[in-house]
Amino acid sequence: MKSNHLSTVMPALGKAMWRCVSAGICVTIAFAGDARAYKAYVSNEKSNTISIIDTAERKVVGTIKVGQRPRGIAITKDQKYVLVAVGDDDTIQMIDTTSNKVVDTLPSGPDPELFTDDPSGRLLYVANENNNTVTIIDIERRARLGDVEVGVEPEGMGLSPDGKILVNTSETTNMAHFIDTATRQIVANILVDARPRFAQFKDDGSELWVSSEIGGTVSVIDPVKRAVKRKINFTVPGMRQEAIQPVGIAITHDGKTGFVALGPANRIAVIDAATHQVQKFLLVGQRVWHMAFTPDEKYLLTTNGVSNDVSVIDVAALKVIDTIQVGELPWGIAISQR
Amino acid sequence: MTEAKTSSRALIRAFVAVALVFLLTAALARAEPLTIKIGYVGRAEKKATISLLDYPPDNDGVAGTRLALDDNNTTGKFLNQHFLLEEVRVKDGTDPADVVLQLADRGISFFIMDLPADMLLKAAEAGRGRDLVFFNAGAIDDRLREEDCRADVIHTAPTRSMLADGLAQYLVFKRWLRWLLVAGSHETDKLFADALRRAAGRFGARIVEQRVFEDSGGARRTDSGLVQIQRQIPLFLQGAPAHDVVVAADESEVFASYLPYRTRDPRPVAGSAGLVPKSWDAAHDQWGANQLQNRFMQLFSRRMTALDIQAWSAARMIGEAAARVAAGDPQTIFAYLKGPDFALAAFKGQKLTLRDWNLQLRQPILLADGRTIVSVSPQEGFLHQFSELDTLGIDRPETKCRLK
């Protein structure tokens, strides 16, 4: 799920509104009712559908039929398309956000899973699990520009805020590969714990977080030194260590709070992103996988695969406030900017 | 003037620095990769099977090792490490000592073994004192992890008791508690029957009766054999007390595959046929296994077997350790594998680690019906104070192993 990489970059309107809100004025203008309505798109891996959630009403308002095994999902910067990797069809489908219909496809490599776009919104970087490559796609021309060879089973994709370094994680090689986006060459390889799933930069580019599903840790990487500076461990009382499987990561814009989905531990870990200490665990649905903030960062929505639902977390209160039933095995989530 | 001098000096310095960096990079690029050699010692004979579908491929096991070497070498590209494989086959009943020593003389310290228990022990004994590390990928005998355990043998194959416990937990979950146990007459069949009896006792199932299916030495493939079999099996099973499931122990492939659909009473079959506990199956696709299966299929044009994954796990353990410790010598790698940081991602939904008391790889057990994965044990609710994977097989408090 690349959604939060895309959705964290705010278009002009959203940014203005955010300033408005953080300055404590014109709140009433910005918000009609208790929360602005955004659309959250949830990929249901087993149903082969996308559930559309209205984030203000907190209910499913539409379902889109897509290809086989939808997982990675994101919205283009211009908000015109929802992109969804349909791995078993070896392609990425483009859903028109106005008509909610699949209108086109992008030429990824075999079994695409996660992807991220560049700051201009022109290029898409795709991890293809089946052939150890990252594919670069021109979104506008729907054309494949080239491939970068990486480790075994590429999965997580993160782009530095300045767009210069693309990070790909490879699940069996257990590395974060740093790729120079200008030369498309690997410039560094950093070993992390077993089965790295997701890569997330802080908005200021000061840290890169990489989750290791089987290793059970999050590696905090210094992107300048290109070295792991610390590892975050998780101990849930009464829970066996093997069940703690970190996957999705989200970090607030101010870089102060991190959220990590712990898979079959059914919890989201809340982390003080300055000290890297775990503050608390939020009990969500079963096998929580990925997550995305609403653009105002009031809410964090998580996909809970085994319980077929989405949990809504109040970010300020750090409480789970609602659960929304979606399709079967919800996997990824992306939230619109308006 | 001074400014010009300074800037030209700076220029020269910059030039020298660039040249140095260039030379260093070139030197690094040319540096010989760290080469790690792995030996694969397998059996020359293949066992006969009832079903053609179960007939072991020629490269059974070693194909898994080759795939793991591919995986290790892809990672090795980034770490300047390279892995090589030498394969040797030995006949059952012969002494593998010479084979091991010859490979060791050629610089091989890591051995992936698919040999019967006694041959494995002889091979390891031959290498004593030479800092060799053995990975038992083939033998499921509990005694290799118990009274006959060795400090230089790691086991990636599950044990009979782990397999039996994995099956028993599921049958108990189904409340199929009354078992009709049918065992073959060979030694390994009896050992599996023992493991199943132990499992029944541990998890609350009851063996209502035990029968032995004598191997009278018949051929497994005969024209019109079916006509007889569908009459023989119900006769053999008639008169049994009420039971929920027929549990078969037939590692020798003499009768178990003839049981499903031919039983006297309409009952499911489990054990050596029907619902089979195993470390891997051609149908396993969860937790990313699909990608491993795809890579394997691309290379070998066949499906991956249990022996393949057990050998793959062994070679990946070596690769994983080499990447972590940036070394290729057996002492450093073995120390890492035995240490607290080792974990293997092996497409089973959770990390695999080593039992430090007998060097057995902890692993979930798949329950396969030949078409799909029916379930994966440990089952929910079978709890353990340390790791639920330790509800499978002989646990630390019961072990007879003293590593030496």
Task: List residues of chain B with CB under 8 Å from any CB of chain A.
Answer: 71, 74-75, 78-79, 288, 291, 294-295, 316, 320, 323-324, 343-345, 349-351, 384, 387-389
Do the chains contact at A171 and B345, CB–CB below 8 Å? yes
CA distance A327 to A290: 15
Closest partner residue to A214 (CB to CB) among B324, B343, B384 is B343
Question: Which chain A residue's Cα is nearest to B74?
Answer: A151
Which amino acid belongs to residue B315?
Answer: A
Q: Please check whether the two domains, B34-158+281-363 and B161-277, share a CATH topology.
A: yes
Closest partner residue to A171 (CB to CB) among B288, B351, B388 is B288
Do the chains contact at A243 and B344, CB–CB below 8 Å? no
Task: Kindly report the pTM of this predicted structure.
Answer: 0.86
Angle at Cα A102 formed by Cα A97 and Cα A108, nearest 5°? Answer: 110
Which residues partner with A226 through β-bridges? none
3-state secondary structure of A107: coil
CATH of the domain at A129: 2.130.10.10
Question: Which chain A residue's Cα is nearest to B386?
Answer: A240
Domains of chain B, residue spans: 34-158+281-363, 161-277
Q: For residue range A9-28, what is the model confidence (pLDDT) as tens digits? A: 344 444 444 444 444 444 44
Mutate to test the interface with B, among A130, A149, A173 (most CBs of B within 10 A): A173
A132: left (phi over 0), alpha (psi -120 to 50) or beta: left
- Output Rg (C-alpha) for chain B, integer angstroms: 25
B166 and B196 in contact (C-beta within 8 Å)?
no
CA distance A82 to A336: 9
CA distance A281 to B221: 60
What pLDDT was estimated at residue B29? 53
What pLDDT was estimated at residue B222? 62
Region B88-93 average pLDDT: 92
Q: Is A29 a domain residue?
A: no
What integer best gives the mean pLDDT of chain A? 90
Do the chains contact at B387 and A189, CB–CB below 8 Å? no
Do the chains contact at B345 and A189, CB–CB below 8 Å? no
CA distance A112 to A114: 6
- Helix-strand-coil split of chain B, %, nearest 5: 40, 20, 40
What pLDDT was estimated at residue A12? 42
Where does B214-297 show beta strands of DSSP type E? 245-249, 269-271, 276-278
Q: Using the 8-state DSSP alphabet, how is residue B144 labeled?
A: G
Q: Return the higher-pLDDT residue of A298 and B23.
A: A298
Q: Which two tokens stand for residue B325?
A: 């410790």
Q: Is A28 a domain residue?
A: no
Do the chains contact at B75 and A152, CB–CB below 8 Å? yes
What DSSP assignment string belongs to B288-316?
A: THHHHHHHHHHHHSS---HHHHHHHHHHH
The confidence band for B16, taking pLDDT boundaries of 50, 70 and 90, is low
Do the chains contact at A175 and B75, CB–CB below 8 Å? yes
Q: Which two tokens stand for residue A44?
A: 């249901």
Do the chains contact at A242 and B79, CB–CB below 8 Å? no
Q: A151 to chain B: which residues are within 8 Å by CB?
A: 74-75, 78
C-alpha distance from A94 to closest chain B C-alpha (Å): 25
Q: Which two tokens stand for residue B372?
A: 């799909």
What pLDDT was estimated at residue B227? 75
Closest partner residue to A194 (CB to CB) among B75, B291, B351 is B351
What pLDDT was estimated at residue B21? 54
Q: Which of B370, B375, B362 is nearest to B286 (CA)?
A: B375
Q: How many domains does chain A have?
A: 1
Q: May I ask the CATH architecture of the domain B161-277?
A: 3-Layer(aba) Sandwich (3.40)
The ipTM (two decimal places) reads 0.78
Phi, psi torsion values for A170, nearest 5 degrees:
-115, 125
CA distance B365 to A91: 34
C-alpha distance from B150 to closest chain A C-alpha (Å): 27
Do the chains contact at A173 and B384, CB–CB below 8 Å? no
Name the strand (E) or helix (H) holding B8: helix B2-30
Q: Which of A308, A318, A259, A313 is nearest to A287 (CA)?
A: A308
Angle at Cα A98 formed by Cα A307 and Cα A43, nearest 5°? Answer: 20
Question: Which chain A residue's Cα is nearest to B291?
Answer: A130
3-state secondary structure of B169: helix
So what CATH class is B34-158+281-363?
alpha beta
Structural domain containing residue A323: 3-22+34-335
Do the chains contact at B351 and A240, CB–CB below 8 Å? no
What pLDDT was estimated at residue B40? 98
CA distance B309 to B64: 6
Q: Is A56 a domain residue?
A: yes
